[in-house]
A and B are shown apart, each in its own frame.
Chain A
Amino acid sequence: MSLPEVDVCIIGSGAGGAPMALELGRAGFKVVVLEKGRHYQPQDFIHDEILNSRRNFFMPLPWEEPHLVRHGAQSRYERSNVAWTANCVGGGTVHMSGFFYRLKPVDFRLRSTLGAVSGSTLADWPISYEELAPFYDKAEAELGVSGEAVPHPFAEPRSGPYPLPPLDVHPVASEIDKACKAMGWHSLPTARGIISRPYRGRAPCSYCSLCGSYGCETGAKSGTNASLIPAALATGNVDLRPGCMARSVEVDKQGRAKSVIYLDENGVVQEQPAKVVVVSCTAVESARLLLNSTSGRFPRGLANGSGLVGKNLLFSSFGESYATFRVSKQGEARPWLKDPAPFVNRSVQDFYLLPDSRFGFRKGGTLGFMWAHPNPIHAAVELAGDGKSALFGKALKDKMREYRDSRILQFEVYAEWLPTSGTYVSVSEDTKDKYGIPVAAITVERHPMDFAATRFLVERGEEVLLRLDPDDVRRKGVMGETTILQHGTCRFGNDAAASVLDKHCRAHEVPNLYVVDGSFMPTGGSVPSTLTIAANSFRVAHHLVRAMKG
Chain B
Amino acid sequence: MNKIGLIISREYTTRVRKKSFILMSLLGPLLIVGFIMLTAYLKKGNKENYEILVVDESHLFDSILRNSTKYHLQWAPKDKSYDDIQKIFKADEKLDLLVYLPINLIKTNSMTAKCLYKDIPSTGAQKHLSSIINEAIELYRVTYNKIDISTYKSIKTSINLDVVDIENKANKNIQRKAIVGMVFSIFIYIFIFMYSLQVMRGVIEEKTNRIVEIIISSVSSFQLMMGKIIGVGLVGITQFLIWSLVTTIMSFTVLPRFITDKYNPEFQFSSEEISKNNTLMNTSNEIIQFIIYEIQWPYLIFFFILFFIGGYLLYSGLMAAIGSAVDEEADTQQFLIPLTIPMVFALMMAGKVIDDPSSSLAFWMSEIPFTSPIIMIIRIAMGIGDSSVEIWEIILSLFLLIITFIGTTWISGKIYRKGILSYGKKASYSDIFKWLKL
Q: Answer yes or no: do A and B interact.
A: no
List chain B positions with a Cβ less than 8 A from chain A: none
List chain A positions with a Cβ less than 8 A from chain B: none
